[in-house]
Amino acid sequence: MILIVDCGSTKTHWCLLNNNTVQNEYFTLGMNAVLLTAPEMEEIVRRELLPQMDTLAEAVEEVYFYGAGCLGDEICGNVAAALGAVFTKARGIEADTDLLGAARALCGREPGIACILGTGSNSCYYDGEKIADNVSPLGYILGDEGSGAVLGKILVGDVLKRQLPDDLCEKFLSQFGLDRLGIIRRVYKEPAANRFLASTSPFLLANIDRPEIHDLVVNAFKAFFRRNIANYACAGKYPVSFIGSIACYYEPQLREAAAPFGYTIGNIVKSPMPGLIAFHTR
């Protein structure tokens, strides 16, 4: 049996394949490999996953793990060690970044530009086998253009600096039960400011028919193309494909933003798992 893992910071999706057919799917807490040791990850897997799998865990022969925070050999080695301690009969365990998972899911074994647009954003040129080039996303403070966190950051800033019409500002503050001091506290004093900012981005979708909101979103996506995709030497040669909730919810605005650059938009999907299943069963 093959176990494919799509691991984010908040949720992990496990898919068990038997003879190229989905046998079971499981969901557990997320794990960010940068923040956890191998024993800590092992403990989470044992506590959250094994009770769901029961004896099927003993039948796992291969594990393909794609996760947030898998940024280098040492961290990937920690993940592989944690999984190896749990799935002791697995003859092969591969741990890689979620960006490689996105590229394999979107492009299969063909070259292309693969992107993630969710709470954060990322992109790469994938040559059909590996990530051949990557413009660093830099996080929501220095980068992450087009992400939910940055859309929320622009929205909150425009509300507090009165860049939007009064009715929209009042509607936003009322809907979220916030005021200036409350927003500043959530952003500067409390943890996970990126998640808080991303949680405000649905306001944009609900009001996308307003010209000011439409322009805010399209300009944020244009910044993503200008500051990321345009820096790949092959930009314009291959389609640009996307995984993530932001890409799916704002697909019309994303396509509109790509048009002035002459980019062709390829696949847009919410989850990498269907593409990863296809990749590992070919």
For residue range 215-252, list pLDDT tens digits in order.
Answer: 999 999 999 999 999 999 999 899 999 999 999 999 99
- State the pLDDT confidence band at 64, using cuts at 50, 70 and 90: very high
Nearest to 277 by CA among 19, 11, 12, 9: 19
Rounded to an integer, the average pLDDT of 147-166 is 95
Largest distance between two CA atoms of the chain: 62
pLDDT computed for residue 207 by the predictor: 96
pLDDT band at 54 (very low <50, low <70, confident <90, very high): confident
CA distance linking residue 96 with residue 19, whole number of Å: 23
Average of per-residue pLDDT across 78-98? 90
- pLDDT value of residue 55: 83
Give yes or no for residue 112 having a pLDDT over 90.
Answer: yes
Q: What is the mean pLDDT of residues 158-166?
A: 95
pLDDT at site 265:
94
Q: How far is CA 275 from the centre of its chain?
A: 14
What does the pLDDT read at residue 106? 96
CA distances in angstroms from 166 to 158, 173, 178, listed in the order given: 11, 11, 15
Q: How confident is the model at residue 190 (pLDDT cuts 50, 70, 90)?
A: confident
The CA angle 112-115-116, to the nearest 5 degrees, is: 155
Token pair listed for 12:
């992990």
Residue 91: other Cβ atoms inside 10 A: 9
Residue pLDDT, tens place only, 242-274 = 999 999 999 999 999 999 999 999 999 999 999
**Tokens at 228, concatenated:** 């990321």
Single-letter amino acid, residue 273: M
- Tell me the average pLDDT across 102-106: 96
So what's the pLDDT on residue 133? 96
Residue 69: the pLDDT is 79
Within 13 Å, how many C-alpha atoms sit on residue 231's CB side? 13
Residue 140 — pLDDT band, cuts 50, 70, 90? confident
Q: What integer pLDDT is reported at residue 278 of this predicted model?
A: 93
For residue 58, pLDDT beyond 90: no
- Which domains occur in the chain, in start order? 2-90 (3.30.420.40), 104-141+225-270 (3.30.420.40), 146-218 (1.10.720.160)
The HSE-up count of residue 73 (CA atoms within 13 Å, CB side) is: 0
In this predicted structure, the answer to whether residue 282 has a pLDDT above a threshold of 80 is no
